[in-house]
Amino acid sequence: MKARIISTGTELTIGQTVDTNAAWLAQQLAGLGVECSGHAAVPDDQALIHDAITAASREAEIVLISGGLGPTPDDLTRFALADAMGVGMWSDEASLDQIKAFFEQRKREMSEANRVQALFPEGAKPIENTCGTAPGMHARVGDAEVFVMPGVPFEMKQMFDRDVRPALSARTGGGVILQHTLRTFGMPEGEIGEKLADLMKRGRNPTVGTGAADLIISIRLNARGASAEEARGLVEADAAEVRRRMGSFVFGEGDETMADAVAKLLASRRKTVSTAESCTGGLIAKQLTDISGSSAYFVQGVVSYANEAKCRLLGISPGLIASRGAVSPEVAQAMAVSCRHMAGTDFALSATGVAGPTGGTADKPVGLVYVGLADDQGVAVKELRLGDSLSREAIRDRTAKIALNLLRLRLTEHA
């Protein structure tokens, strides 16, 4: 069974609002084992909404629509649906009573404009709205079953949970899609594609796909089963196989961040960390303390941004900075060693570099960064050449991830 999602609203098509309704509905469909073959967002335009409903109902058995049920002149979904069904409108007294009751309960006057919210295409069934004035609709267009819900996210979600999900569930009869995501760091996407080529072949169950964002490559598994158990068995078998092939390149699951992964390892091994940052300006400390309970492993950080700050806060010798430059492996090394010593932590991370877009030279271009990791065995420094085409934000973000990944790998070895 296939479904399509339609979101209506000019605020979406001019980009003033990001369409989170479609993503939420898509997640619910996946959980029900219903394949979603596409979303569409259309402006408040009766003809365009009509076109979208007609197209979707030809391609899918289920069409979920949100938005355009309000009382104002730009709320046109009910009329577009009637056009698509080829019918006229009727007014539902029971819905009108509910809308009136909604206002009375809040001691407010119902405006005449709200009467339109009790109008339905002939043959469409009202769906009660338990937390707003706009009732939903359940209708048939050609062979497709169409559900219309309000655009306000929490009203839409309540209506879906209360009425639409049970209706869909009754139609599916148990098929379930389970999603699982493994997050990897350090292996290029092309290489992952080669390593997992057989698993990524089209038509397999589970399907395996990759997606890249800010150096992190996610490997997504989607298993379809007659039952949740069957789907879970399939997804777990594939996840284990992917983990076996990818080894320590896998750092987490779901939406775990690199800092989450490091935090877990530090906490479980009862180790502590401190940070000495220059170009990242506090980002590494911020990420390590994003997590509740971070006081178990994070002791302190310094943002030694100016050269004098490196000397003052970390006791780096001004001579070293003068001879090697603040952006140098020697300074990264000294920052990490001194930071660890002063904080009394098991590990210390340091970063110094040129985050740009200004400040680069031929010798030390934008994107040149040194990250250091000190522990009881000594100190390791890694040179990064992130390139001058990245934004400052991207250079800082990648530096933080690479530094945290160094620590992650060290903690994994220590296991």
Chain residues 37-56 in contact with a copy of itself, contact rule CB under 8 A:
37-45, 48, 52, 55
- Decide whether 122 or 189 has the Cβ nearer to a copy of itself: 189
The span of 77-85, 88-96, 227-235, 292-300 binding a copy of itself (CB under 8 A) equals: 292-300
- Residue choice 313, 337, 351, 407 for contact with a copy of itself (CB under 8 A): 313
Nearest distance from C-beta of residue 35 to a copy of itself, angstroms: 8
User: DSSP H helical segments within 161-256, as ranges?
Assistant: 165-172, 189-195, 228-246
Half-sphere exposure of 200 toward its Cβ, with a 13 Å CA cutoff? Answer: 15
- Decide whether 243 or 286 has the Cβ nearer to a copy of itself: 286
Nearest distance from C-beta of residue 123 to a copy of itself, angstroms: 26
Ramachandran sector of residue 142 (left: φ over 0; alpha: ψ -120 to 50; beta: rest): left
- Residue choice 88, 106, 203, 377 for contact with a copy of itself (CB under 8 A): 106
Does 392 interact with a copy of itself (rule: CB under 8 A)? yes
Does 293 interact with a copy of itself (rule: CB under 8 A)? yes
- 342: CB partners within 8 A, 6+ apart: 274, 314, 315
Q: What are phi and psi of 86, to 5 degrees?
A: 70, 40
- Residue choice 1, 24, 230, 380 for contact with a copy of itself (CB under 8 A): 24
The whole-angstrom separation of Cα 4 and Cα 216 is 30
The whole-angstrom separation of Cα 175 and Cα 224 is 7
183, two tokens: 């997050």
The span of 186-194, 234-242, 244-252, 407-415 binding a copy of itself (CB under 8 A) equals: 186-194
Does 19 interact with a copy of itself (rule: CB under 8 A)? yes
Nearest distance from C-beta of residue 391 to a copy of itself, angstroms: 6
Half-sphere exposure of 37 toward its Cβ, with a 13 Å CA cutoff? Answer: 12
Does 389 interact with a copy of itself (rule: CB under 8 A)? yes
Does 377 interact with a copy of itself (rule: CB under 8 A)? no
Nearest distance from C-beta of residue 207 to a copy of itself, angstroms: 8
> In 3-state terms, what secondary structure has residue 354?
coil
* Secondary structure (DSSP) of 67-80: S--SSSTT--HHHH
- Residue choice 281, 380, 409, 412 for contact with a copy of itself (CB under 8 A): 281
- Decide whether 14 or 415 has the Cβ nearer to a copy of itself: 14
**Burial label, 386 (beta-carbon count in 10 A; 0-12, 13-18, 19+):** buried
